[in-house]
Structure 1
């Protein structure tokens, strides 16, 4: 970024308070480091009440962090009742149009350059919107490094060892998970397999 050029990053957190708060904290850290940077945080609304009781807007007094509220998508509630396991992916996918419209409106009204998208680990469908707008996207993993190591391990079993994780649901087999000190992962005690 040139010294005289202002830029905006678009953050898209998953619509639960813990993910939104983590996004706000990262946004505050970034804007405190560079006065040319601003952040627009897009707040999607789940069709179910998450009873958060708070708003991420209350946590950030910085004037270079703006919040854009998307209207709730009531049609996605039917997906929740039909298939809770696939709801997250379908909900986020259904929000691509409203996110694209909100970012397009932001670009028209703000004199700042759109620098990219920072998407929550559950909102990777928004990478397509960033691609359409010709900007880079970055995935923000809101969990711990140990959790990230577990996810990488599970994906490695599928990608590199051609294993079907469902076959371990009733298994007594124990695995060593790299990145998680002194933890042996026992599939039977895990609910991870249920969501794969």
Structure 2
């Protein structure tokens, strides 16, 4: 079997980067011919995340030798950017750096015999605008979806509701109207939609992302079939890219201190065994 390499591009958030690294560990453990390069976008505002990123480079005990990390040039202009424009700004500023890093990977593989060949991109769920880069390199694009399968189905449904039925979703705020969303067992009232659905700037980002998600070859979702069997089945009717439940992706061995002495963790520790999902 030929050696292959995947390029992961996670977004600079603890909830995305940590689970991405754990997924990379899982994949290389399952396939001895697979190597992974993770392109790291280091945020200028999160010291905990920066410390975690720095630890990845030196953690030779738990990180496979077939997983490499490349720090992309840091962009100080990210400071002070409104949340609704943050991801778009990162994509624009980091696109040339990502392209350059991947070009070097391809060049190396062409010069070194028996080295892995680029097989695809695994993009963060917020970085779907980079699908065209995978196309440019002639490889497949996948997405690691760090939310639930049910919400993935909700995102697809909302995009179709706007684009195919011309529904102005922002006008549903406070409405009692119920929608039969395939990824949910029961109808969902509009008044329970996330608040970001009623803000034009965040709604646009969410629905644009849903449209781009339809263009990838596969969606790796941080869930497992036994937890979300209905949602996973609803996404397996051939209308969407292939869905692969790869979870639960957890970093149970983390020593980052992010949850130490947390009120939430204290409360959980006090609950009866097997009483919390």
TM-score, normalised to structure 2, is 0.62
1:74 aligns with 2:76: yes
Q: What does residue range 112-123 of structure 1 map to in structure 2 within 5 Å?
A: 112-123=116-127
Higher alpha-carbon deviation: 35-44 or 127-136? 127-136
**Which residue of the partner structure matches residue 40 of structure 1?**
37
RMSD (Å), alpha carbons: 2.3
Q: Secondary structure at the match of 1:187?
A: helix
Gaps of 5+ in 2: 110-114, 204-277
Gaps of 5+ in 1: none
**Which residue of the partner structure matches residue 142 of structure 1?**
146
CA distance 1:189–1:13, change in 2 (3 Å): closer
Displacement of 1:153 in angstroms is 1.7
Q: Which whole-Å CA distance do the structure 2 matches of 1:176 and 1:115 have between them?
A: 38
Displacement of 1:154 in angstroms is 1.0
CA distance 1:125–1:189, change in 2 (3 Å): closer
Q: Secondary structure at the match of 1:31?
A: helix
CA distance 1:128–1:60, change in 2 (3 Å): farther
**Which residue of the partner structure matches residue 102 of structure 1?**
101
Q: 2:175 aligns with which of 152, 171, 176?
A: 171
**Which residue of the partner structure matches residue 63 of structure 1?**
65
TM-score, normalised to structure 1, is 0.85
Q: What does residue range 80-95 of structure 1 map to in structure 2 within 5 Å?
A: 80=81, 83-95=82-94
Q: Which whole-Å CA distance do the structure 2 matches of 1:73 and 1:161 have between them?
A: 40
Q: Which whole-Å CA distance do the structure 1 matches of 2:27 and 2:196 have between them?
A: 33
Higher alpha-carbon deviation: 45-54 or 63-72? 45-54
Higher alpha-carbon deviation: 184-193 or 141-150? 184-193
Q: Secondary structure at the match of 1:119?
A: strand
**Which residue of the partner structure matches residue 8 of structure 1?**
5
1:27 aligns with 2:29: no
Q: Which whole-Å CA distance do the structure 2 matches of 1:42 and 1:187 have between them?
A: 39
Higher alpha-carbon deviation: 56-65 or 149-158? 56-65
**Count of aligned positions:** 190
Displacement of 1:192 in angstroms is 2.6
Q: 1:132 aligns with which of 133, 136, 143?
A: 136
Displacement of 1:170 in angstroms is 4.2
